[in-house]
Structure 1
Amino acid sequence: MRLLVLGGGGFLGHHVVAEARRAGHDVTVASRSGTRPFPDVEALAVDRYGDLSALDGRTFDAALDTFSDPDAVRATAERLRGSAGALGYVSGMSVYHPDGPAVPDEDAPVRRPGEASPDDPLQERSLAKLGAEDAVTSVFDGPVTVLRVGIMVGPRDPSDRFTWWPVRLARALAGEASRTVLAPGDPQRAVQYSDARDIAAFAVRALGDGRAGVFDTVGPLRAQPLAAVLDACLEAAGGRPGDVTWAWAGEDALRAGLHDVEEEARPLWFPEDQIPQDAIDSSAARAAGLRFRPAVETARDVLAWHRDRGEPALAAGFDAAQEAALVRRCAEGTAPTG
């Protein structure tokens, strides 16, 4: 397969390129910089808001787009009409209507303009994704695969929101940090997330098959309680149950105690009131071949990646003093616990 990846140097796009190479496909990436993510990958310089001429005269069996601007996505889809056999687009699970079913599938109601409260942090981004979905499905002349993703984790995650956990636990086990570890919310709260590499593998397979349709790609196979995910991170760091003490703090306490830490930099799962659904039904994608690796494998690989990149300061996290203060508040009963 000749695959065009619009992007390819960041997180999910990089893993799509890597997966396609492993599968023996010919890969071209298109980005503003025109930088090759791998030596054997062709790179084209394109401006999503202007100059797409590098795509002229080129043909591909499939292309994948992750951009969020509907107008730019539409312009690219129009440019690829007749020159790409199939088109994939990466959307998000936040497009589902907050008042819809507790466990939405691909046919559940989606958000509509003017129906969300002004302080809904997901509305604007979700409407942009829905606009882009409509653009690719209405403009492109071949099979379109829409992947609705949720929380993505794994090596190269620029947010470090998941990476924080195995790194923090490894530091505790090495004696470099306290073995009392702040943990967010309710330990039995079910969480769903996906390793970006699993989504990448599914995307490459679906595009190669010309599989059209919308697919929820949120995993793992069963919703896992947050406590189990953090225990998997502890195992990945070389620990065993009991090696650390979890200090579970309610989300109100966390908001108050971390008020000076930007929300996107907090190493926590998204607040419960920002995720109106109990879970996402990904059975259609699983039936089409989507597979989810165990949490411990993701955590081990993330820790190894962090060490390979020289263990820089994490993009997410808080300092030891903030963590200790919240732990003390919870122990004294001055902050609600999950």
Structure 2
Amino acid sequence: MQLLVLGGGAFLGRHAVTAALDAGHDVTVFSRGGSAPVDGVAVLTGDRQGDLSALHGREFDAVLDTFSDPDAVAATAGLLSGAVGAYGYVSGMSVYHPAGPRIPGAGDPVRREGEAADDDPLQERSLAKLGAEAAVAEHFSGPAPVFRVGVMVGPHDPSDRFTWWPVRLARALARDADRTVLAPGDPARVVQYSDARDIAAFAVDVLARRAEGVFDTVGPGRAQPLSAVLDACLRAAGGSVGDVEWAWAGERYLREGLRDVEEEARPLWFPEDQIPQDAIDSSAAIAEGLRFRPAEDTARDVLAWLRDEGRTELAAGFDPEFERALVAGR
């Protein structure tokens, strides 16, 4: 397959490039920077909101698009219609209507203009994603699978919200003073997330087969309590059950204690009131071949990535003194 990845240098796009190369496909990326995220790919330089000239007259078997600007997506979809076999668009689980089912799936109600609370942080971005979905459907003639993603984790995650856990637990194992670890809410709370590499591999496979449909790709496709995820991160850091003391704090207490910490800077899964659903039904994607790797593998790979990159600062997480204060005040 000749695959065009629009972007390709960021989180999911980068993993899609790697997944396609691993599967033996030829990959071209289109980006403003004009640089390849990894070796072995061709690069086209342009601007999604302006200069698409590098795409004129080119043909590909498939394209993967993650952009959230409906007008830009419409322009690209229209330009590539007839020149590309399948157009995959990456949307998000936040498009589902907050008043819909507690566990929505493809076909359930989605958000609409003017129906969200004024302070709903997801409304604007969700309507943009829905607009982009509609733009592909309107302007592209051919298979156009939609991949609705949720919380994505793994190497190259710019948010560091999952990354915090294996890093924090590695620190706990290295220093006795840090072995009491603040944990959010109920240890039995079921959580969902996906390693971006699993979504990337699935998207590449779907495009190669030119399958169609709306696929919710939120994992792990099974009931997994938060305590199990954190224990997996502990094992990835080289520890085992009993090596740390989990200081579980109630969400009401944490909301107050973290009122000055933006939700996007909080580690998963500290209070996230912006997410209205309990879970997402990804059965259609699982039936189509989506698979989720164990949390321990993701956490171990995240630590290896950080070591390779030489990174020491994270975009999410707590200062040790602040964490200790929260633990003491429970």
**TM-score, with length taken from structure 2:** 0.98
Q: Percent identity?
A: 73
Q: Tell me how many residue pairs correspond in the alignment.
A: 330
Question: Which residue matches 1:89?
Answer: 89
Distance apart, 1:221 and its partner CA? 2.0
* Segment of structure 1 superposing worse, 84-93 or 307-316: 307-316
- Contact 1:149–1:217 (CA<8 Å) still a contact in 2? yes
Question: Which residue matches 1:122?
Answer: 122
Question: Which residue matches 1:181?
Answer: 181
Distance apart, 1:82 and its partner CA? 1.1
Question: Which residue matches 2:206?
Answer: 206
Question: Which residue matches 1:163?
Answer: 163
- Tell me how far apart the structure 2 counterparts of residues 276 and 67 of structure 1 sit (CA, whole Å): 23
Distance apart, 1:52 and its partner CA? 0.2
- Tell me how far apart the structure 1 counterparts of residues 98 and 261 of structure 2 sit (CA, whole Å): 27
- Output one character per residue of 1:150-198: Cα deviation in whole Å (capped at 9) or x when no partner: 0000000000000000000001101175100011122111111000000
Distance apart, 1:270 and its partner CA? 6.0
Cα distance change of structure 1 residues 235 and 79 upon mapping to structure 2, 3 Å threshold: same
- Tell me how far apart the structure 2 counterparts of residues 58 and 271 of structure 1 sit (CA, whole Å): 47
* Segment of structure 1 superposing worse, 54-63 or 97-106: 97-106
- Contact 1:198–1:293 (CA<8 Å) still a contact in 2? yes
* Segment of structure 1 superposing worse, 242-251 or 148-157: 242-251
Question: Which residue matches 2:133?
Answer: 133
Question: Which residue matches 2:241?
Answer: 241
- Contact 2:254–2:270 (CA<8 Å) still a contact in 1? no
Distance apart, 1:143 and its partner CA? 0.3
Note the 1:1-338 alignment, pairs <5 A.
Answer: 1-175=1-175, 178-269=178-269, 271-330=271-330
Query: Unpaired runs of 5+ in structure 2?
Result: none
Query: Unpaired runs of 5+ in structure 1?
Result: 331-338
- Output one character per residue of 1:60-107: Cα deviation in whole Å (capped at 9) or x when no partner: 000000001111111111111111110000000111111111111101
Distance apart, 1:138 and its partner CA? 1.2
- Tell me how far apart the structure 2 counterparts of residues 243 and 87 of structure 1 sit (CA, whole Å): 48
- Contact 2:149–2:216 (CA<8 Å) still a contact in 1? yes
Letter in 2 for 1:218: V
- Output one character per residue of 1:279-328: Cα deviation in whole Å (capped at 9) or x when no partner: 11111101100000011111111111111111320111110110000000
- Output one character per residue of 1:130-157: Cα deviation in whole Å (capped at 9) or x when no partner: 0000000111011001000000000000
- Tell me how far apart the structure 2 counterparts of residues 176 and 74 of structure 1 sit (CA, whole Å): 55
- Tell me how far apart the structure 2 counterparts of residues 48 and 99 of structure 1 sit (CA, whole Å): 34
**TM-score, with length taken from structure 1:** 0.95
* Segment of structure 1 superposing worse, 171-180 or 221-230: 171-180
Letter in 2 for 1:15: H
